[in-house]
Structure 1
Amino acid sequence: MVALASSLSAAEAAVLARIDGRRGAMLAEIEAWSAINSGSRNLDGLARMADVLAAAFAPLGGDIARVAAAPASRIDADGREVALTHGDNLHIVKRPQAPVRVLMTGHMDTVFGADHPFQACRWLDADTLNGPGTADMKGGIAVLKAALTAFEASPFADQLGWEIVLNSDEEVSSPGSAPLLDAAARRCHLGLTYEPALPDGTLAGARAGSGNFSAAIHGRAAHAGRNPLDGRNAIVAAADLALRLAALAGDDLSVNPAMIEGGGPNNIVPDTAVLRWNMRPRSGTAQVRAEAGINKAVGDVAVAHDVMIHVHGRFARPPKPLDANQLRLFELVQSCGAALGLGISWRDTGGVCDGNNLAATGLAVVDTLGPRGGAIHSADEFLCADSLEERARLSALILMRVAQHGWQR
């Protein structure tokens, strides 16, 4: 177990001093990286981002590999399952034989596509940088790199091995990088993920899970005037299914029917529709109930409307409860914060990230170790620049404490 020291040793203080004055260099990286559009569907931009990040991390001396995305698919607007391509992921490994190994993760993709108007950074004031990915999470990658650079210069580095996964599809639930994340999590003893902290420094504690689903509904076309009863209206069936799914919502499960696609001319009974929805369970029990509810609703609607329904999707992000395993890592982070004069607290959130996936393997993971920031997933996204050195020092100290005192998975 890691000792919860309330003050810094001389060796620790000397390492952390290497981070002082690094704000300008970190900001230069973030602004350059944010200028590269790396929306989750922009494969060219993601390839460029992967090249830039591989070069940026090369001085750390790990073995760097570009890992192709696993196969993925989606349901198109016509109800057909089609292949979906994702970008390569970066995997960096150093000292894999060390007695303790930490997994550090970040994502190079953003929610802003190449055609989105939000493409440039601007300063809102001396400490607030507005720009795509500044907080979520190119700023987090800069913090990760600065912390690890300082740690590698410490006298404790040989005691700790590390893996880094920088994936290309986190913002779309990591379908192409899930196997890479899962395998790395099972090799390592603890996980650190660099999503942004809230503007006041609060971390995410327990997280709800998330599943995105599509139902392709196939009915039968008919003339809307001559023989409408011979038709099987896929739009009506989709609407019925949406209502039944929405009725599953409760205190521990949110359900969002988000889109119905299909239909055509008013004089034709529509024979195809696609319903898309999101579900967010707050516990494993709620997820099981949601899965059973989907199956029942689909079966009942298929019978009631005499249609065929194919459901595509899954709970790609399992719920992440703040159990005893997770809490002990939060307490380590809190103690490191205290040694640096930072008050560290956390609260539950309905948001999801790769931390959900890592925790599902049994790995203890804190997933908001990036800089303070806010308004993510909007053109108002901002980074609190004064938190860059602060958060890099926090992560460097966590790494040093784990290297010195070990960690039991």
Structure 2
Amino acid sequence: MKSLILGLVLLGAAAQAAPLTEVEQVLTQAVAAREPAGRQLLETLVNINSGTRNHAGVKAVGDQLAPAFEALGFSVAWVDGRAFKRAGHLVARFGTRGPKLLLIGHLDTVFAADSKFQRYQVIDERYVKGPGITDMKGGNVVMLLALQALHDAGLLDQLQVQVVLTGDEEDRGDPLLLATEPLRQAGRWADIALGFEDGDGDPATAVVARRSSANWRLEVTGQPAHSSQIFREDIGFGAVYEMARVLAGFREALKGEQLLTFNPGVVVAGTDVQLSDDNRGSAFGKTNVIARKAIVEGDLRALTPEQQARAWSVMQRVADASLAHTTSRFTYADRYPAMAPTAGNTSLLAMYSQASEDLGYGPVRAVDPRRAGAADISFVAGDVAQALDGLGLMGTGGHTDNEVADMHTLTSQARRAALLMYRLSSVADGR
């Protein structure tokens, strides 16, 4: 089925689209009719603190959204997150015929329960400020508006839909495989995945590729001695020079890899050092003592699984070539997989862009992968025939206390998503 969908989408994207049909006009009008209630719901959601570690708040956001999906005929379930130390996920299912669409959002934000940034604040007729308003409570409302419009136009039953709204996108649960299993299971079921994150905040872009997010750690030891003896044949170079060699070696060996980044974010070094799980470090040393230990922790972002594997191999080789009387231990942990660019993703973007143009909103291009971080869709992108993200409410200032939404994009984003989903059902049905 997935290969059939890919072929049909490629065919549909290549065709010259006609102006909006009567059915499509009804669909776009249905979005506008639902928009005032969507704004009210968004205000309610933003005013509920749902920082990832505020489990009650995350669940409360899910409780607000569940009835809206049930009103459309979805069966809704809450996946309890205690086993992976998080609140849980909201999963909604609908339909038994048509292409299988997975719609992805998340309930949590980066703003803790004691954050000073807590409320929905109207700036003017266009802009509204609030915690998580674009990342991604606004995206959840865009998704819901599109589904409501399909329902109101009598078109929703032409699709099979699963909605997964995770409760830990901003701070992933542990163990990772357990935390992501409901999402990955939906990805194995789906033909097409649509993510309602805000991408780079520009309505003229959408996401066909996201880089991975992985962590690495370098632990270096050297032989302590009086500083005046450094570089002696029997003393060696100490931990700090070895650490500097490895980090410089990473940069030199991998500088030609396009779109690959690897950042040493935390460094502690000295005679005695500690680095806790919450990235708080301490070090004791003296200027006249050769450093005995250094610890570096960082992240790595790659465009494809192959690029990431290649980077790990190179970094391991660099670390293994230690200076005299030093050792470097390099370890890494994969977190978010890459959403690699594919022909299927590109063809889906072409359909989305055509829908946007037909609605009068202009073309949509692929965002630079460096401008879009890792997201939930990455966990399913390798299983579906097509994936597209960045379809949510647009704005600026995500992850800061100046997060502002452009409310003029609420209706336009919902219309584009609704029209795309309808046309996917029409192409798959041969109409």
Contact 1:173–1:317 (8 Å) recurs in 2: no
- Gaps of at least 5 residues in structure 1 are 73-84
1:10-409 pair list within 5 angstroms = 10-69=22-81, 85-95=85-95, 97-172=96-171, 175=176, 177-196=179-198, 198=200, 200-215=202-217, 217=219, 219=221, 238-247=243-252, 248-252=254-258, 253-261=260-268, 262=274, 263-266=282-285, 274-301=295-322, 306-307=326-327, 309=329, 311-314=331-334, 316-321=336-341, 323-347=342-366, 348-350=368-370, 351-352=372-373, 353-406=375-428
Cα-to-partner distance string for 1:50-77 (whole Å, 9 max, x where unaligned): 33332343322222222245977xxxxx
| Map of 1:76 onto structure 2 | none
Letter in 1 for 2:194: L
CA distance in 1, matches of 2:53, 2:324: 38
CA distance in 2, matches of 1:201, 1:346: 9
- Gaps of at least 5 residues in structure 2 are 1-7, 269-273, 275-281
Indicate how the Cα distance of structure 1 residues 31 and 404 shifts in structure 2: closer, same or farther if over 3 A, else same: same
> Could you tell me how far 1:315 is from its partner in structure 2?
5.3
Letter in 1 for 2:355: C
Letter in 2 for 1:311: T
- What's the secondary structure of 1:207's corresponding residue? coil
Q: Report the more deviating stretch, 375-384 or 20-29.
A: 20-29
Letter in 1 for 2:53: R
Q: Report the more deviating stretch, 383-392 or 9-18.
A: 9-18
Cα-to-partner distance string for 1:196-238 (whole Å, 9 max, x where unaligned): 255551223443422331426374897879x999999666655
CA distance in 2, matches of 1:56, 1:221: 64
> Could you tell me how far 1:129 is from its partner in structure 2?
0.8
Indicate how the Cα distance of structure 1 residues 178 and 221 shifts in structure 2: closer, same or farther if over 3 A, else same: farther
> Could you tell me how far 1:105 is from its partner in structure 2?
0.3
For the aligned residue pairs, the C-alpha RMSD in angstroms reads 3.2
Contact 1:68–1:89 (8 Å) recurs in 2: yes
Contact 2:91–2:164 (8 Å) recurs in 1: yes
Contact 1:217–1:274 (8 Å) recurs in 2: yes
- What's the secondary structure of 2:133's corresponding residue? coil
The normalised TM-score by structure 1 is: 0.84
Larger Rg: 2
CA distance in 1, matches of 2:397, 2:66: 28
